[in-house]
């Protein structure tokens, strides 16, 4: 395996700035193989009944297909994703930043269709999470083609990870999109482009403010995203995220699936992947499964 790791300077940079662009996490050949696997999953709409396939950002109400669909946990439908050098290097990066207890949390694939892929609003990933827990995580966003501003690169606000979780609101007009938008004032003049080549990646923390530009290029843009973290722990101070109170169609499908045997399938998949090695993570996942059955999220 072609092992890659971050330099001490890169580790310090991501901790200080809240994000980092890395020109190489995997080979061009492997990146293109991952892209081909994910293209197949998008053609099949893998995970639709499970509430894993859905619309990330809302396009026109008359569009027959989402302009920016996503697949949650594509590893469930393409297990070889976790047997790649890309995954191994991503886990290594996470351990360098968070410590040896860092482990896989989730993965995600996002497609921005050519000439129409929607922009993703400014947001913090932490705003999607359960506010009853504290998270120590990093997200690694892998480019499966050269990604620049025209094709839908990420934009980051430096040092924004050092602040609190800001107010967000749902953007969906049709209850299908799951996107959230930060409604607190943001100084976008400070934003930095996360342009990376094929086989490169960006790294950011869950509180780092970021967005992605629309895909105005003539080629679809698919990215593979992995989140790693230590076991979440209950928060010491109770908070609420009112923007999480509205359920989307995607979440409703997931709730129905979990109630009709999906919880057992989810458990089996996690056992197969080794997600239950840490009792604290096992406790957290149990709580999250119950809440998904009850509320779909």
* Residue pLDDT, tens place only, 261-275: 998 998 889 888 887
Task: Give the ranges where 58-213 is alpha helix by DSSP (H).
Answer: 85-98
pLDDT at residue 19 in the model: 98
107-161: pLDDT as tens digits: 999 999 999 888 999 999 999 998 988 999 999 999 999 999 999 999 999 999 9
Q: Is residue 276 in some structural domain?
A: no
Q: State the pLDDT confidence band at 280, using cuts at 50, 70 and 90.
A: confident
* Separation CA 285–CA 110 (nearest Å): 24
Flag whether 165 is in a domain. Answer: yes
With respect to residue 277, please indicate whether it lies within any of the assigned structural domains: no
Confidence band of 173 (pLDDT split at 50, 70, 90) = low
* Cα–Cα dist 125/50, whole Å: 22
DSSP strands (E only) in 160-204? 168-170, 180-182, 192-194, 201-204
We report the CATH number of the domain holding residue 208 as: 2.60.120.620
Q: Is residue 258 part of a domain?
A: no
Q: Cβ distance 175 to 185 under 8 Å?
A: no
Question: pLDDT tens-digit profile of 243-253?
Answer: 887 778 888 89
Q: Is residue 283 part of a domain?
A: no
Distance between CA 202 and CA 83 in Å, rounded?
Answer: 20
In a domain, 148, yes or no: yes
- Provide the strand spans (E) within 113-195: 120-123, 133-134, 137-143, 154-156, 168-170, 180-182, 192-194
Q: Is residue 111 part of a domain?
A: yes
Instruction: Please tell me the predicted confidence (pLDDT) of residue 294.
Output: 64
Residue-range definition of the domain harbouring residue 141: 8-247
Percent of residues, the chain, with pLDDT higher than 70: 90
What pLDDT does 244 receive? Answer: 84
Q: Is residue 58 part of a domain?
A: yes
This prediction has a pTM of 0.91
Q: What is the number of structural domains in the chain?
A: 1
């Amino acid at each position: 395996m072609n092992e890659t790791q971050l330099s001490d300077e890169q580790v310090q940079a991501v901790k200080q700035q809240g994000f980092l662009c890395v020109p190489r996490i995997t080979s061009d050949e492997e990146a293109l193989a991952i892209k081909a696997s994910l293209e197949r999953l998008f053609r099949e709409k893998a995970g639709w009944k499970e509430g894993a396939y859905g619309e990330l950002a809302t396009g026109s109400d008359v569009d027959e297909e989402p302009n920016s669909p996503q697949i949650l946990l594509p590893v469930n439908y393409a297990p070889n994703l976790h047997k790649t050098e890309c995954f191994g290097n991503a886990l290594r990066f996470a351990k360098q930043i968070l410590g040896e207890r860092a482990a896989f949390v989730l993965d995600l694939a996002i497609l921005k269709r050519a000439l129409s892929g929607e922009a993703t609003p400014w947001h913090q990933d932490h705003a999607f999470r359960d506010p009853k827990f504290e998270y120590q995580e990093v997200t690694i966003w892998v480019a499966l083609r050269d990604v620049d501003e025209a094709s839908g690169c990420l934009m980051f606000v430096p040092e924004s990870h050092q602040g609190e979780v800001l107010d967000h609101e749902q953007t969906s007009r049709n209850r299908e999109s799951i996107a959230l938008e930060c409604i607190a004032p943001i100084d976008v003049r400070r934003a930095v482009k996360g342009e990376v080549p094929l086989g490169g990646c960006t790294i950011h923390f869950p509180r780092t403010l970021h967005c992605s530009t629309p895909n105005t290029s003539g080629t679809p843009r698919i990215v593979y995203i992995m989140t790693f973290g230590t076991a979440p722990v209950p928060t010491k101070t109770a908070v609420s995220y009112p923007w999480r109170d509205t359920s989307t169609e995607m979440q409703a499908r997931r709730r129905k699936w979990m109630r009709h045997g999906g919880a057992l399938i989810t458990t089996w998949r996690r056992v197969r992947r080794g997600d239950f090695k840490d009792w604290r993570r096992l406790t957290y996942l149990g709580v999250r499964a119950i809440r998904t059955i009850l509320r779909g999220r």
